[in-house]
């Protein structure tokens, strides 16, 4: 048995981190080190996200405007220090809920198979 949250963490969390890291650098002018600190990850991880060596499955989210809006709002608030890492983690739970509620059009095919 694999709970939906496990699938979402394995598949979507790297994608969300990659999107957030790239936007923090490109849109909000943060360095890789600053983005890493705000995301609670290492600078080498940010570098890998930026080079699409991690979190490269962006197609899981990039065609979903609502999911991208949630991520953009979260990114902005994290970049400006409006919320803590802990609060950002709880906000990810809201994205997780959105993904679960939108089922097959958001979840990877293997996660929906029985």
Interatomic CA distance for residues 39 and 101, integer angstroms? 25
Domain boundaries along the sequence of the chain: 4-103
72: how many CB neighbours lie within 10 A of its CB? 14
Per-residue pLDDT for 27 more than 80?
yes
CB-based contact 76:28 (threshold 8 Å): yes
Residue 111: its pLDDT value, please?
40
For the stretch 58-106, pLDDT in tens is 676 877 888 889 999 999 999 999 999 889 988 888 888 888 887 545 5
pTM score, whole prediction: 0.83
31: helix, strand or coil: coil
Sole residue written with tokens 């048995």: 1
């Amino acid at each position: 048995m694999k709970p939906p949250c496990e699938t979402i963490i394995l598949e979507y969390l790297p994608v969300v981190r990659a999107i957030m890291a790239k936007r923090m650098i490109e849109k909000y002018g943060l360095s890789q080190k600053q983005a890493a600190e705000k995301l609670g990850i290492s600078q080498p991880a940010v570098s890998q996200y930026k080079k699409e060596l991690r979190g490269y499955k962006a197609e899981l989210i990039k065609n979903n405007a609502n999911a991208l809006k949630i991520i953009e709002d979260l990114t902005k608030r994290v970049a400006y220090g409006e919320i803590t890492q802990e609060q950002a983690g709880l906000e990810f739970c809201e994205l997780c809920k959105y993904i679960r509620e939108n089922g097959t059009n958001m979840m990877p095919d293997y996660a929906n198979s029985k």
